[in-house]
Amino acid sequence: MAEIELKLRGSPARLKAVLKRLQQRARKGSAFKKDLRAVYFDTAKDDLHAKGISFRVREEGERFVQTLKQTSAGGDALTRGEWSDRVAAAAPELLNTHSGRKLRQVWKDIRLLPRFRTDIARSGFVISPKAHTEIEVVRDEGNIHAVGRDDGVAAVSEIEIELKKGPRSAIYDLALEIVATAGVQIEPLGKADRGYALLSPGAAIVSVKAESPKARGRDTLAETLRSAARRHFAQFLANMAGALRQDPASIHQMRVSMRRLRAALYGARNLLPEAEYESVRLKLKYLLQSLGAARDWEVLTERLSELEDEEDIESVQRAAGVQKGRALVRAVDAVGSRKNIMAVLEAMRWFEDLPTARHGRKLKVRARDAAGDILSELFDRVRRRGRHFEEQSVGDRHRLRIAGKNLRYNVELYAALYPKRKVERFLDLLKPVQDDLGHLNDVSRARDLLGELAKRSPQKAAAAAVVARLEARVTAADKRARKHVANLRNAKLFW
């Protein structure tokens, strides 16, 4: 079975106030309080965690419940597989239990060790915001303890909103209500994730990449967009914890997820009411731009590292490093801001609600029937923007680059509807154009950032010299780009 939930974290006082306010709408007789103690098990090398699995035995009053949870293979932001069984004691039972059989399907070696435990005070109730909808609201307070480590403790203070019955949009409606009235944030990590973090406190942050969603021929366009949104927001949220620790790679992956989703939305824009499209587009644009400066300075420092053996570079690198650090701090503030969280929840809710009566029948068309028109319109835009490439300004090339990204991400979204070999041949022509234009854009952006740096620091002459060195490398990329753009404009279409 699947567990559909969203977690929000905040101070104990704020969450207590949230629960008290929502309890006025609780279904009669649904309120409860209980103490939960659980032990999480894994191999000595945490192989289950590496497979996206958590396995625990929890004491609930006088009974014990064994549960296996697995991250959704489809990359859904809210859904996890969950299998539970009553067991006799606080120890795993791997025979004659649903959760035990599921575990043995994915991991044959069943020698498990206790890795960490949780002590949680839980209170909650069920509300029915509208007919045929039930949501369980739970407040958890307590701690996570790493087994065998006295210093391995993490506090828990969160609200879980779990959908028991009804449309997923109901979860977002309730979350938006809570975020609008209380200083809370989305909690991207489950208790198991935080427990494993205690076991390896010095471990490097690993950014989370995600495969591009694939449209299915039997799905409608609305279902395709909704599936893409679920996967891309799952990637966005999965990288949130790393971004809050100022990890540039996590910030980059958050931006990748929103770029891909914005491209999918852009491809279908002609089938959407203009006001709705514009509203969601601006939310996704804000999420991208709030993290943009941190990514720009990260790319600049990477470009500077290519010149590290040249004179005068160290002073510029140090100054750029300072600006990168400041941009990362601003990115952390943006990720945790109420505006950011509201934008995420509002956009997720909009995609989840597709289609509605206001969309007419346009989004109910099969993805297979809509894909050709979408790709043709995007390719025509690339061909137009690629004319007279050698004479184009920096702004014109930037617009061509964006058009190329929109085309590529939509080709990858609808690729499964067409012969694989033909799609790959087309992408072999498109990807070099993106690489060339990306390099040229990096140099252009570096010029702008180094110009800012020269104004703020005493390295004006050194910064100017670095710009000259970077631009000296542009000629070869520019020559390649002319050839690749011409090849793409004459590409044989597969749709």
CATH of the domain at 291: 1.40.20.10
Residue range 50-83, pLDDT digits in tens: 888 999 999 988 899 999 998 764 466 667 788 9
41 plus 179 within the same structural domain: yes
325 plus 378 within the same structural domain: yes
Place of tokens 């949009």: 169
115 plus 263 within the same structural domain: no
Q: What is the mean pLDDT of residues 412-430?
A: 96
Place of tokens 């854009």: 441
Last residue of a domain, one of 168, 203, 238: 203
Q: Which residues pair with 471 in a beta bridge?
A: none
Last residue of a domain, one of 136, 170, 203: 203
400 plus 266 within the same structural domain: yes
* The pLDDT of residue 466: 77
* The pLDDT of residue 443: 83
pLDDT reading at 458 higher than 80? no
182 plus 271 within the same structural domain: no
pLDDT reading at 134 higher than 70? yes
* The pLDDT of residue 119: 96
pLDDT reading at 137 higher than 90? yes
H runs (alpha helix) in 46-166? 47-50, 98-106
Residue range 369-378, pLDDT digits in tens: 999 999 999 9
* The pLDDT of residue 67: 95
* The pLDDT of residue 140: 96
pLDDT tier at 211, thresholds 50, 70, 90: confident
Last residue of a domain, one of 187, 203, 219: 203
The count of domains in the chain is 2
85 plus 159 within the same structural domain: yes
* The pLDDT of residue 201: 79
* The pLDDT of residue 308: 61
- The average confidence (pLDDT) of the chain is 90
pLDDT reading at 203 higher than 70? yes
Q: Is 255 part of a structural domain of the chain?
A: yes
Residue range 3-18, pLDDT digits in tens: 789 999 999 999 999 9
Q: Is 228 part of a structural domain of the chain?
A: no
Report the share of the chain in percent with pLDDT over 90.
66
> Nearest CA to 57 among 109, 14, 111, 99?
99
pLDDT tier at 265, thresholds 50, 70, 90: very high
Q: Which residues constitute the domain of residue 424?
A: 248-489
pLDDT tier at 384, thresholds 50, 70, 90: very high
pLDDT tier at 457, thresholds 50, 70, 90: low
* The pLDDT of residue 73: 46
Q: Is 235 part of a structural domain of the chain?
A: no
pLDDT reading at 462 higher than 80? no
> Nearest CA to 432 among 388, 386, 395, 378?
386
120 plus 253 within the same structural domain: no
177 plus 294 within the same structural domain: no
* The pLDDT of residue 477: 80
What are the two backbone dihedrals, phi and then psi, of residue 66, each rounded to the nearest 5 degrees? -100, 130
Tokens of 335: 């990720």
> Nearest CA to 286 among 261, 319, 311, 304?
261
* The pLDDT of residue 444: 85
189 plus 324 within the same structural domain: no
CATH number for the domain harbouring residue 86 = 2.40.320.10
pTM score: 0.89
Q: Is 166 part of a structural domain of the chain?
A: yes
Q: Which residue has the higher pLDDT, 270 or 314?
A: 270
Q: Is 220 part of a structural domain of the chain?
A: no
Lowest mean per-residue pLDDT among 126-130, 419-423, 476-480, 486-490? 476-480
Q: Is 184 part of a structural domain of the chain?
A: yes
188 plus 302 within the same structural domain: no
Report the share of the chain in percent with pLDDT over 70.
95
Q: Is 241 part of a structural domain of the chain?
A: no
Distance CA 290, CA 299 (A): 16
Q: Is 213 part of a structural domain of the chain?
A: no
- Mention every residue, 6+ apart, whose C-beta is less than 8 A from residue 312: 459, 461, 462, 465, 466
Residue range 171-194, pLDDT digits in tens: 999 999 999 988 899 998 889 999
Distance CA 32, CA 425 (A): 59
Helical (H) or strand (E) element with 79:
strand 79-87
Place of tokens 């050839």: 483
193 plus 266 within the same structural domain: no
Q: What is the mean pLDDT of residues 332-349?
A: 94
* The pLDDT of residue 72: 60
Distance CA 342, CA 362 (A): 28
pLDDT tier at 359, thresholds 50, 70, 90: confident
